[in-house]
Structure 1
Amino acid sequence: MRIALGLQYDGSHFSGWQSQVNQNTIQDELEKAISAFVGIDALKSNPIRVITAGRTDTGVHALGQVVHFDVEVERENWSWVRGVNTFLPESIVVNWAQPVSDEFSARYSAHERTYIYALHAGPCRSPMSASRAGYVMLPADRWFDVDAMKRSAGYLIGEHDFTSFRSSECQSKTPVKTIYSIEIFSDEPWLYFKIKGNAFLHHMVRNLVGSFIQIGIGKQSADWMAKVLAAKDRSIAAPTFSPAGLYLAQIAYPEEFNIPKPWLENSWLPKNLF
């Protein structure tokens, strides 16, 4: 049978989602935990393998990650949650579990992904948010030009070639993606970006945030974003910004699969973001 799980994790101490040789990854921890719960030796030829909705990078967090896997063992939904969590580190948790049809794919059935980026700004960084938020040093009497950032966001809405915001390591077959909405919330000393799209390129959100910051601090004008997008040249966009403030917030699926929404109320992020 096929089982879907909803996950949350703090990615601060992991080398990203994807399994890697001699690296500490979330996928490895989850597969070991599921295998231990169902009594499968992960070192044998047929260990549990999970498919994820989105592969997060080193240091990136998730509030609403979704995965699926195939298994011959039957358990109650809550048993999957309690049992797998027993074998997971405190920084990773399963929020829900349910059987799904063989037509469901955590990756390919998804039609919308939402990312949130949390940014702290001021004369001094906050040690309490060092791994939870990005940081920009600003004088106490200065703040971002949020209106300019919002105007620049308008150029990105819709279907575009996002080569200018694509990592050289990106494995996507096409740089063409669709952004449905970009919201920017200002609450000094915090700034939050909420970006929804059908899919994202490697480092795309962090590259967009880096470019928004250049506009927000006045180094670039709002229409610079349109020029960067049209250039299809990664070298002219801003440097890739810190992974610390990036959260995979939610994955949306067709209603026929009845996939639960993520538990966002237990997040430290402001509730008005959701």
Structure 2
Amino acid sequence: MMRNYKMLLAYDGGRYNGWQKQGNTDNTIQEKLEGIVSALAGCPIEVYGSGRTDAGTHAYGQVANFHMNWEGTAEKLMDCINEKLPEDMAVLSLESVSPRFHSRLSAKGKIYEYTIWNSKKPPVFERKYVFWCEKPLHLEKMKEASQAFLGEHDFKSFCANKRMKKSTVRKIYEIQFLCTEDKITISYHGNGFLYQMVRILTGTLIEVGEGKRQPEEISAILAALDREKAGFTAPAKGLVLREVFYGEGREENDSDY
């Protein structure tokens, strides 16, 4: 019987060329999954992700779905997939869902997290998952600047795709800062995100923290609708897709990221 399966995935994106399969390489998350699921099904299977995470970006809570004829239980299918996945990828849960469910089109919101290592001491054991910023950051100014991002705005200044034809309007519900002795983790909860948007938002906030920009400049950057006005693009390795939301209470979006 053909069923629609929803999977929750975790992966270390460090050695992959992002989520989306590409014609010039098979080293993508989607390609790896499709190869395994297709082999189990005995026919080509397409796996749809909730968003196209960049090359080097990680995920604790990527959601994907695929349609497959499978006679066993969802748990057995999950075990079969995990047996064949490389050690830097894992299916955390798998369940049969409504045929109408689509991991991207049904999504209502996402949480991305970006982690900065703010210390003169190198991040020896966490170097693959954080952006090292040696200069002390002014946290309160970063928090103040982040408030200008809340709500619905045209985030064209924070989109790396200059040929974007779809709407660049997105809504950010909440931005939180979690700080430990050496780490600053910024959490972004929104209804969808543009190409490299979270990394550009973070780069801009880092420049505020370094004193290169002032918090009151953010509104003007948003209004400019010009990528050149915003800050640098923070490296992908500090970014992780934490959670994807479905169900009531959030707006449906057409974001691919």
TM-score normalised by structure 1 residue count:
0.86
Kept in 2, the 8 Å contact 1:179–1:196? The answer is yes
Q: List aligned pairs for 1:53-202, cutoff 5 A.
A: 53-138=50-135, 143-168=136-161, 171=164, 173-202=166-195
Q: Secondary structure at the match of 2:215?
A: coil
Q: List aligned pairs for 1:31-50, cutoff 5 A.
A: 31-40=34-43, 47-50=44-47
Query: Identity of counterpart residues, as a percentage?
Result: 35
Name stretches of at least 5 consecutive residues in structure 2 with no aligned partner: 249-257
Shift of 1:94: 0.4
Kept in 1, the 8 Å contact 2:118–2:137? The answer is no
Which has the higher mean CA deviation after the structures are superposed, 116-125 or 205-214? 116-125
Q: Secondary structure at the match of 2:31?
A: helix
In the superposition, relative to structure 1, how do residues 156 and 132 fare at CA in structure 2: closer, same or farther (>3 Å)?
A: same
Give the distance between the partners of 2:78 and 2:163, measured in 1 at CA.
33
Kept in 2, the 8 Å contact 1:169–1:202? The answer is no
In the superposition, relative to structure 1, how do residues 171 and 164 fare at CA in structure 2: closer, same or farther (>3 Å)?
A: closer
Give the distance between the partners of 1:225 and 1:148, measured in 2 at CA.
12
Kept in 2, the 8 Å contact 1:37–1:87? The answer is no
TM-score normalised by structure 2 residue count:
0.91
Give the distance between the partners of 1:169 and 1:11, measured in 2 at CA.
25
The match for 1:25 among 12, 23, 28 is: 28
Shift of 1:171: 4.9
In the superposition, relative to structure 1, how do residues 170 and 196 fare at CA in structure 2: closer, same or farther (>3 Å)?
A: farther
In structure 1, the residue matched to 2:234 is 241
Q: Secondary structure at the match of 1:93?
A: strand
Shift of 1:172: 6.4
Which has the higher mean CA deviation after the structures are superposed, 28-37 or 209-218? 28-37
Q: Secondary structure at the match of 2:118?
A: strand
Name stretches of at least 5 consecutive residues in structure 1 with no aligned partner: 41-46, 256-274
The match for 1:229 among 222, 228, 231 is: 222
The match for 1:207 among 197, 200, 203 is: 200
Which has the higher mean CA deviation after the structures are superposed, 166-175 or 204-213? 166-175
Q: Secondary structure at the match of 2:146?
A: helix
Give the distance between the partners of 2:122 and 2:51, measured in 1 at CA.
30
The superposition leaves residues 58-105 of structure 1 with CA deviations (integer Å, 9 ceiling, x where unpaired) of 000000000111112233121121011111111110011111111211
1:251 aligns with 2:248: no
Kept in 1, the 8 Å contact 2:200–2:234? The answer is yes
Q: How many residues align?
A: 245
Shift of 1:35: 1.6
The superposition leaves residues 207-238 of structure 1 with CA deviations (integer Å, 9 ceiling, x where unpaired) of 00000000111111111112211111100111
Which has the higher mean CA deviation after the structures are superposed, 229-238 or 119-128? 119-128
Kept in 2, the 8 Å contact 1:58–1:243? The answer is yes
